[in-house]
C-alpha cells in the first residue's frame, strides 16, 4: 500500500467515528502497526487535519478536512482517467477541453506515486460511431441546466415537422450516437426528450423556471420508471 493510500484510508477510518477511537483500533482496522498510526496522524496534523487526542486516550477527527493534495485510490484514479478520456472524446468541444484541463489540474497536485498511476493508466476509450451534430448548442444548454433557466428552441421532429418550444431543461443524456435534452415542455405541459441534432435554434432565456432542477429530475424518473441512482 502506498503512503498516500494509507493516509487516505486513515482519514476515512477516522471519519467513521464520532467519539475518540484508540490507535490500536485504527491499526487493526487498517492492517498497519500502532507506530505507523501515530506517525501518520502526526503527518495529517501537519497537513492541516484537525485531529484531537493523544496516544492512550484516542483520536477524533473534527469535520471539514480534505486532504491537500488530493488523494485517490488507484481504482479511483483509473475511473477519473477513463471518464475524462471518454468526455474528451465523446462530448462537445468545450466540455472535452474542460475534461482535459481538469485531468491536468488533478495531476499537478497528486503525490508522485499516484501521479505515476494517472500518467500510465492503460484504460482506453475505443472508437465509436460519429456523434450527431449539436455541439454549438450544448454549452448554452448546459448553462441553462446549471442555472435552472428556460430555453426557447426551434425543433424538427422525426417526421420533419418544425415547431417552436419553451422548455425547462434539467438533464442532458449522452448516448453513443446522439445527445438528448430532458426537459419540461410548456406547450405539451409534460416531460419531453429533444435530440440536440434536431434543435435548429436555441435561445437562452434569463428567467428561472418555477421548479427546482432536482425536483424535476426526480419526477421525471418516477414518470419514466427509472430508479434513483
**Highest averaged pLDDT of the listed ranges 58-67, 95-104, 127-136:** 95-104
Sequence-distant (6+) residues with CB within 8 A of 29 are 13
Nearest CA among 172, 74, 66 for reference residue 114: 74
Nearest CA among 150, 157, 163, 221 for reference residue 191: 221
pTM exceeding 0.75: no
Q: Tell me the pLDDT tens digit for each residue of 63-95.
A: 766 555 556 777 888 898 999 999 988 888 889
- Looking at residue 87, the DSSP 8-state letter turns out to be H
Backbone phi, then psi, for 80, in 5-degree steps?
-65, -45
pLDDT of residue 93: 87
SS (H, E, C) 160-216: CCEEEEEEEEEEEEECCCCEEEEEEECCCCEEEEEEHHHEEEEEEEEEECCCCHHHH
Q: Tell me the pLDDT tens digit for each residue of 166-176.
A: 999 999 999 88
Amino acid at each position: 500500500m502506498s503512503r498516500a493510500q494509507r493516509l487516505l484510508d486513515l482519514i476515512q477510518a477516522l471519519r467513521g467515528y464520532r467519539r475518540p477511537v484508540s490507535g490500536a483500533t485504527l491499526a487493526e482496522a487498517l492492517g498497519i502497526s500502532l507506530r505507523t498510526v501515530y506517525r501518520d496522524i502526526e503527518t495529517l496534523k501537519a497537513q492541516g487535519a484537525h485531529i484531537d487526542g493523544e496516544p492512550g486516550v484516542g483520536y477524533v477527527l473534527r469535520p471539514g478536512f480534505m486532504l491537500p493534495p488530493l488523494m485517490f485510490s488507484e481504482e479511483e484514479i483509473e475511473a477519473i482517467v477513463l471518464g475524462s478520456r471518454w468526455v474528451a472524446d465523446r462530448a462537445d468541444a468545450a466540455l472535452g477541453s474542460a475534461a482535459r484541463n481538469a485531468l491536468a489540474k488533478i495531476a499537478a497536485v497528486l503525490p508522485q506515486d499516484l501521479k505515476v498511476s494517472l500518467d500510465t493508466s492503460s484504460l482506453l476509450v475505443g472508437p465509436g460511431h460519429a456523434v450527431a451534430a449539436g455541439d454549438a448548442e450544448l454549452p448554452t444548454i448546459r448553462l441553462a441546466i446549471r442555472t435552472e433557466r428556460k430555453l426557447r428552441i426551434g425543433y424538427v421532429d422525426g417526421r420533419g415537422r418544425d415547431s417552436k418550444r419553451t422548455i425547462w431543461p434539467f438533464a442532458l443524456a449522452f448516448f453513443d450516437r446522439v445527445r438528448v435534452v430532458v426537459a419540461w415542455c410548456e406547450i405539451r405541459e409534460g416531460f419531453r426528450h429533444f435530440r440536440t441534432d434536431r434543435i435548429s435554434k436555441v435561445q437562452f432565456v434569463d428567467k428561472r423556471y418555477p421548479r427546482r432542477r432536482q425536483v424535476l429530475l426526480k419526477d421525471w424518473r418516477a414518470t419514466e420508471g427509472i430508479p434513483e441512482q
